[in-house]
């Protein structure tokens, strides 16, 4: 049993730097909002599969493959954005399942200033469902004195 536990631990430790293990559990809506650069509701309009990207982890430069997902911004709850935003969706357990034409609530941030926008899949980002609709309503209440930025949909 000790050997099996050791093997499992080694596998867990050797996963990619971007792998989503959710060791700290799910962040609260308030914390995720505070720690995100952008918070938007958007519709996926384009997915560029298998794009090249680079990132720095632990002082080393790594090259990876990601999907670049472009969303048409329907509402912006933090930091006004343009009509679209693009984020990097990795090819590992940290990937957010997305489909063109579907609406998502997205909490986007960067690990470092040089990296592209990313979603923390341990958080609330995801397909608009009841839970995300309720989160969206709460985001709207927080900004009652300053309603969410509604983006021109032209």
**Res 144: pLDDT:** 58
For residue 32, give the 3-state DSSP assignment: helix
Full-model pTM: 0.74
Cα distance between residue 100 and residue 44, in whole Å: 5
Q: What is the pLDDT along the chain (154 residues), one digit of tens a residue?
A: 444 444 333 333 333 333 456 777 889 999 999 999 999 999 999 999 887 777 777 888 777 788 999 999 999 998 876 899 999 998 888 899 999 999 999 999 998 777 889 998 889 999 999 999 999 999 988 765 444 455 444 4
**Res 21: pLDDT:** 64
Counting runs of H as helices and runs of E as strands, what totals does the chain give? 3, 7
**Res 103: pLDDT:** 97
**Res 7: pLDDT:** 39
- Burial class from Cβ neighbours inside 10 Å (0-12, 13-18, 19+) for residue 100 reads exposed
**Res 108: pLDDT:** 95
Cα distance between residue 143 and residue 127, in whole Å: 22
């Amino acid at each position: 049993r000790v050997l099996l536990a050791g093997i499992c631990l080694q596998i867990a430790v050797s996963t990619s730097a971007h792998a989503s293990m959710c060791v700290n559990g799910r962040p609260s809506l308030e914390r995720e909002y505070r720690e995100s650069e952008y918070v938007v509701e958007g519709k996926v309009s384009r997915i560029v599969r298998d794009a090249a990207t680079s990132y720095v982890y632990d002082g080393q430069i790594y090259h990876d493959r990601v999907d670049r997902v472009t969303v048409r911004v329907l509402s912006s709850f933090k930091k006004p954005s343009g009509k679209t935003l693009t984020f990097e969706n990795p090819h590992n357990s940290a990937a957010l399942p997305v489909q063109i034409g579907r609406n998502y609530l997205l909490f986007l941030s960067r690990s470092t200033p040089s990296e592209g926008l990313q979603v923390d899949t341990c958080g609330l980002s995801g397909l608009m469902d009841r839970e995300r609709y309720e989160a969206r309503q709460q985001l709207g209440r927080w900004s009652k004195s300053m309603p969410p930025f509604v983006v021109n949909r032209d």
